[in-house]
Amino acid sequence: MAASCYYASKLVLRVVQAVLALVAFAGAAWLQTKGFREPPINFMVFVGVTGWLISMLYAVVSCVEGLQRVLWGIVEAGLNALWVLFWMAGGAAFAADGRCKPSQLSLDTPFTECNAFLASEAFAWMSFLLWVPSLALAVVDWRRGEGLGQSGNRF
């Protein structure tokens, strides 16, 4: 029973990650449609789209036992570590840009470039915060010997 709750919690975590990634890359993609093609915006779209795909893949993996043996362990830990860095880099690149400040966010006017920029940045940081526990859970799975790269029970 405990194992099924553990996998259910990983499923919920992945679905929430996918939703946050969708919002983060949607804001950046909207900026691209308005003519903004700077590297931080392009990077946010890349990280968001691939983060969404990885989250959805691992949501499916958490429900299919055969895929768990192949895609968990060191493979999941490596992907999570990479996307923790990517989300941090994307959020930091948007934070360092300086074109929009939270004081410029307007809830009274129609959707603006600053609204999209700040929303994308905020959801990038929230995504970063959710990929950290995924990395921790993946390292625990790997250390337990679950998935590819297993080396026995180290606990």
Mean pLDDT within 14-21: 96
pLDDT in tens, 84-115: 999 999 999 999 987 887 776 666 766 788 88
- Two structure tokens written together for 79: 């992907």
Q: Is residue 151 part of a domain?
A: no
Confirm whether 44 is domain-assigned: yes
The pLDDT of residue 115 is: 86
The verdict on residue 93 lying in a domain is: yes
Distance between CA atoms of 21 and 58, rounded to whole angstroms? 14
| Average pLDDT value for the chain | 83
In a domain, residue 2? The reply is no
- pLDDT computed for residue 74 by the predictor: 80
Question: Residue 53: which domain range?
Answer: 8-144
Number of domains comprising the chain:
1
Judge whether 150 lies within some domain: no
Whether 11 shows a pLDDT value over 60: the answer reads yes
Percent of the chain with pLDDT over 90: 52
Percent of the chain with pLDDT over 70: 79
Among residues 55, 56, 46, 48, the alpha carbon closest in space to that of 22 is found at: 48
Residue 154 within a domain: no
Angle between helix 113-144 and 39-61 (nearest 10): 40
66 inside domain: yes
Q: String of b and e for 66-105 (b: at least 16 CB within 10 Å)?
A: eebeebbbbbbbebbeebbebbbbbbebbeeeeebeeeee
140 is a domain residue = yes
